[in-house]
Amino acid sequence: MHQRFSWRPIAAAIACSTILSACTTYSQTDSPSALTLNTKEYFESDAVDVLAFSSKPGGLFFDSKTAGIEIIHHGERTATNGDVRLLHTPEQWDGMGQFVSREVNQETGTITTQLAYPELDFSYAVKATVEDKHLVVSVHLDRPLPAELVGKAGFNMEFVPAEYWDKSYLADGKPGQFPRSASTPYGMITNEQGLTEPTAFASANSFVFAPGDPERRVTITETLGDGELMLFDGRTKAQNGWYVVRDMIPAEKTGKVVEWTLDINAKPGWVREPVIGFSQVGYHPSQSKQAVIELDVNDAPESTVELLRINADGSSEQVLQSKPASWGSYLRYNYITFDFSGVTAPGLYQLRYGNQTTPAFPIDTDVLAKAWQPTLDFFFPVQMDHMLVREAYRVWHGRSHMDDALQAPPNYEHFDLYAHGENLDTEFKPFEHIDGLDYGGWYDAGDYDIRTQSQYHTVQGLVHAVEEFGIERDNTTVDQAKKFTQINRPDGKQDILQQIEHGTLALIAQHRAIGHAIPGIVAGRLYQYPHLGDGSTKTDNMVYDASMDPHASERGVGKMYEPSTVDPTAGEDLMPENGTHSGRFDDRWAFTTNSTALNYGSAAALAAASRVLGPINQDLADESLTTAKKVWEYEANREPNTYRFGNTTGGRLEEEKLKAAVELLITTKEDKYAHSINELLPEIEDNFRGENIAMLVGALPHMNDAYSDKLKALTVQYRKQVADIEKDNPYGVPITRGGWAGNGSVMSFGISNYWLNKAFPDIVEEELVYRSLNYIFGTHPDSNYSFASGIGAQSQTAAYGANRADFSYIPGGVVPGVLVLPPDLPENKSNWPFFWGQNEYVIPMGSRYLFLTHAAQTLLEK
């Protein structure tokens, strides 16, 4: 629960925050921060915080850059991964020390973390403490560094480039500038292991970063070590690399072997600027309208908030002014709210709070009427695999992965959460080509996977959207025969149905080629996996033949085109084909476990798709339903295969089966599926949320009164749980705490509330639907830009798509959003797209967004 609070004015004598363990007195000039170890177990001052292994190293996809010694400098996390590493500029999957234990000593003001590389028989401790306003970080060894790690092990700290671009540094007084683009002035080298590494672009005993910027100035001095700090640019190895300060661990030493002092500058009396949370897209006159203002704990609220109307001549007039209501504290900030629901006149408006005035936003009946279009017009077409995708003069990408796919080997654990046990569940030999997987499907995210679970979630979500709301829009040409898509060129067919067809083709391909759903298709080798740019260049698009020279291709088999005769609008190749097979081992791998959960999830999407595909592809509709029925009968007559690994082998078995039962019931009206739903209900009750709600409500028209009564009772209980969420945070939506930010959960919350409001409007109110959408559009912690790229006055336009290396975006993509870093930092980096947990587009978010925007608009049109 949140706690109500009393505000503290900023004055010469400021009262101590209950969070702070000591007060801080500032001089009139900038100075190192007066850090103290607080009860949340990190070092804190008004302007600077330092985390010491508040998060454990590693994570869902290994190095998340959210561990080790980390600096939060004037409200922004600027440094991370202060830890012992074995390379100058480690990449995402390079080794990290494993967490062993963490001890916080409040009496000495010290945090000591024990870590180890057990496979190398190497353990160490990292200590952090404060001495005379300096942060002191040290590395301690009980035994000397193993001989094989001498010259390899060093203490690193990484600084996010976007916070130091175009800034200067001093290296023992010698001036330099941080490079804007990846730079290694002294060239790359090849180490003893054959790995390419950058050379340092500066070295010194003491560095001063950004001496001219008081908000980013940090002085790092080596007080014990090998006598030299080195500064590297990690982007020379990988576009997501950071600036790295590194200090090598000396050989044959024990005890304290490395020590740094960090003077992290603090602006006297610094207070973080308020964040005025509001919808960057605007508001319908009929909906409630509330701004949520996020305040530094040392800030005092202004006495009033204003709503201004902008006139045609550029002038503005005040239409509402009132005192903000105090909400309380959440995480590390305090919150006040301003309700302007009573303003319904259409027009352009701004909010003014203190010295801030927001961008203009509309109040109008059609604010949501177009907010979904970029997702359908751009995001989904750009994500289409196995297609050439054009937009006017631009080619987003060529036909990609036309060589899909090779059978992945047994007893293998892939680096991206795919795996095989002993059984492949196919007749194909390891690395044998599986014919018939080279069509349909979307890039799951920025990494070009065909993750089956994402595919069927998305197909099912799109089907529900078109069934519920119609979405009659034709703005894109999709030609499956020519594997060609052109944005902003109508073809007489409903775009959303063409996208459903594309996802369905990928699902049905698995059943045609293999006989069951599979976990997915993914690049086999790590060097190939992080490919950025045009997906068609990731492989040679020719089927791998082990008998061939890897530098040759089988010519004369494929159709030849002369470049001068190519008509790109007709979907022809932009370059001539050289053949169909090659000896290049670059084809993606298919992981083929016959998982019962995946089969049910795939069958659910196929059954749903069969209901809507008739107008554009009746044959596919018929095959999809036939396949879904066969899957149901197949799984009913075997012991479930419950093999699980990562997030690729399906959700909870009971929930995936529920989806299949509901979609088959809606499609066929057969009683056996209703019987299964009743049997499954007791196993679903404890997880009455998200997709389960959509499924259970979807089945309601086909079930009996007892089922309806049970669902109503569950809804009453659910609404009470929502009340707990409303007490937890001022946004009234579930904000998750995992390694992947929670916009998916927020949108799922809104969609669930739409279905429950439709079934039980006296229990679940419409407001809960709008609340989720307003969160996506800017009413959220940390910032106020829209998380739907290119949608709203200000939005996330440096995101983790295939074009992330360009610090660009895909219109209509929705990013994961605010990641809560332990213990209390809400963060979304708008200037650094490479945080996958905050900024990576995934396709199920697109289908949820399409549904949620239409749900809100439909309710408002009532």
Q: Which residue has the higher pLDDT, 763 or 417?
A: 763
CATH number of 275-363: 2.60.40.10
CA distances from residue 855 to 468, 548, 769, 859 in whole angstroms, order as listed: 9, 55, 8, 6
In this structure, are residues 144 and 122 in contact, taking their beta carbons and an 8 Å threshold? no
pLDDT band at residue 600 using 50, 70 and 90 as cut-offs: very high
Q: Give the mean model confidence (pLDDT) for residues 116-130.
A: 97
102: left (phi over 0), alpha (psi -120 to 50) or beta: beta
Tokens of 87: 């390379």
d(CA 557, CA 700): 55
Say if residue 25's pLDDT is above 60. Answer: no
> Which value, in Å, is the radius of gyration of the alpha carbons in the chain?
28
In this structure, are residues 820 and 733 in contact, taking their beta carbons and an 8 Å threshold? no
Lowest mean pLDDT among 182-191, 666-675, 706-715: 182-191
pLDDT for the residue 724? 96
d(CA 85, CA 72): 22
Taking only the tens place, the pLDDT of each residue in 637-696 is 999 999 988 888 999 999 999 999 999 999 999 999 999 999 999 999 999 999 999 999
CA distances from residue 439 to 54, 481, 577 in whole angstroms, order as listed: 45, 10, 18
445 CB-contact burial (10 Å; exposed 0-12 / middle 13-18 / buried 19+)? buried
Single-letter code of the amino acid located at 761: P
770: left (phi over 0), alpha (psi -120 to 50) or beta: alpha
Helix or strand run (H / E) with residue 114: strand 110-117
d(CA 136, CA 254): 18
Nearest alpha carbon to residue 529 among 539, 517, 519: 539
pLDDT for the residue 183? 87
- For the chain, the structural domain boundaries read 31-266, 275-363
d(CA 504, CA 754): 26
CA distances from residue 254 to 225, 518, 733, 855 in whole angstroms, order as listed: 12, 51, 51, 64
Q: Give the mean model confidence (pLDDT) for residues 527-533.
A: 91
Handedness of CA 48, 278, 462, 465 (dihedral sign): positive
- Cβ-proximal residues to 329 (8 Å cutoff; 6+ apart), any chain: 2, 3, 5, 297, 335
- Cβ-proximal residues to 145 (8 Å cutoff; 6+ apart), any chain: 122, 153, 249, 250, 251, 252, 253, 257
Find out whether the peptide bond into 362 is cis, omega within 30 degrees of 0: no
d(CA 348, CA 360): 6
DSSP letter for each residue of 45-62? -SSEEEEESSS-S--TTS
β-partners of residue 244 are: 158, 232
pLDDT for the residue 547? 92
Say if residue 38's pLDDT is above 60. Answer: yes
Say if residue 193's pLDDT is above 90. Answer: no
pLDDT for the residue 554? 67
Number of Cβ within a 10 Å radius of residue 168: 15
- Cβ-proximal residues to 250 (8 Å cutoff; 6+ apart), any chain: 145, 225, 226, 257
How many residues does this entry show for the chain? 862
CATH 2.70.98 fits 31-266, yes or no: yes
pLDDT for the residue 33? 67
In this structure, are residues 236 and 198 in contact, taking their beta carbons and an 8 Å threshold? yes
d(CA 603, CA 596): 10
Lowest mean pLDDT among 56-60, 377-381, 436-440: 56-60
pLDDT for the residue 27? 36
pLDDT for the residue 578? 54
pLDDT band at residue 243 using 50, 70 and 90 as cut-offs: very high
Nearest alpha carbon to residue 524 among 591, 454, 444: 591
Lowest mean pLDDT among 32-36, 89-93, 115-119, 830-834: 32-36
d(CA 279, CA 289): 9
Q: With H, G, I as helix, E, B as strand and everything else as coil, classify residue 34.
A: coil
Q: Give the mean model confidence (pLDDT) for residues 600-614.
A: 98
pLDDT band at residue 68 using 50, 70 and 90 as cut-offs: very high
Say if residue 13's pLDDT is above 90. Answer: no
β-partners of residue 209 are: 169, 218
Taking only the tens place, the pLDDT of each residue in 148-174 is 999 999 999 999 999 999 999 999 999
Tokens of 574: 């932009």
Q: What rounded mean pLDDT belongs to the chain?
A: 92
**275-363: same fold as 31-266?**
no
